[in-house]
Amino acid sequence: MPVIIGAGTTVTSDLISGGFVSVSFSLSPSVERLFQLGSFDAFDLNITEQESVSITNFGGASTPVALAPSTACVDSTAKMAVVITPAPCVGAAVPIDRTGADSLFITSFSYSKDFQGFGQESWSLQSKPIITGFTGSQVFIQGFAEGNHLIGSDIVSDDGIVLTGSVVATSFDATGRNLSVSAGSPGIGSDDTQEFGKITEIGGGVGKEDGKKGNASANVPHQIVFF
């Protein structure tokens, strides 16, 4: 297991121009063993693999992505092309290139920023299931995206999501409130109001905006369809 140096590792994306804070990649296999009577030797194997990538970047560096639930059996358009080139201490670098037809699907997005400092975005990406020996057709369709964000006069001008109501001509579905404070010298807390609703766009959250905070998240469900 080689050690990887962060300062030498590079990430490129068609949606994020720079300011990468962290990245992770995983390939998770699921092995279904087709056991048969009279033996512990499997008749065959059904192996499904799926890749996932998580990216965190500073705000002010990403391009917004429009979201729309699928109305036909075609792949979702909520995709990101990404190339990860690690810098191992030993051995040659083996880039992870997920571009073009291999671009990954965006399954969630979040944004956070405190009153001081830079905002950060986090993206979760996923591949279609990769099924050994499968010869049929498959598409990854996009579902109804929902999420929430803070509202108020002390909130950033752009938290990276566009939220609207699920019903036509409404701007949100519901509101929530979270208040917390602790005793101390001084005792500091927060009183936040959130809106919940349908998400139609993600990305493009602001980087530096002193005196403003933000917190937003969106879930972008996808479903595999075989035919």
Confidence of residue 186 (pLDDT cuts 50, 70, 90): confident
Per-residue confidence (pLDDT) for residue 115, from 0 to 100: 96
Task: Read off the tokens for 74.
Answer: 């075609």
- C-alpha 5/C-alpha 64 separation (Å) is 30
Sign of torsion, CA 18 23 27 30? negative
HSE (side-chain half, CA atoms, 13 Å) at 36: 6
pTM: 0.93
Establish if 197 belongs to a structural domain: no
Establish if 155 belongs to a structural domain: no
Let me know: does 119 contact 206? Beta carbons within 8 Å.
Answer: yes
Confidence of residue 16 (pLDDT cuts 50, 70, 90): very high
Domain hosting 133: range is: 6-34+43-145+203-226
Averaged pLDDT, 214-222 = 98
Per-residue confidence (pLDDT) for residue 1, from 0 to 100: 55
Confidence of residue 190 (pLDDT cuts 50, 70, 90): very high
Per-residue confidence (pLDDT) for residue 197, from 0 to 100: 98
CA distances to 60, 202, 225, 226 from 171, in Å: 25, 16, 32, 35
Establish if 183 belongs to a structural domain: no
Establish if 99 belongs to a structural domain: yes
pLDDT digits over 111-164, tens only? Answer: 999 999 999 999 999 999 999 899 999 999 999 999 999 999 999 999 999 999
Establish if 150 belongs to a structural domain: no
pLDDT digits over 33-48, tens only? Answer: 999 999 999 999 999 9
Establish if 136 belongs to a structural domain: yes
Establish if 184 belongs to a structural domain: no
pLDDT digits over 49-102, tens only? Answer: 999 999 999 999 999 999 999 999 999 999 999 999 999 998 888 999 999 999
Q: Of all helices (H) and strands (E), which one includes residue 205?
A: none
Establish if 198 belongs to a structural domain: no
Per-residue confidence (pLDDT) for residue 161, from 0 to 100: 98
Averaged pLDDT, 206-214 = 97
Number of structural domains, the chain?
Answer: 1
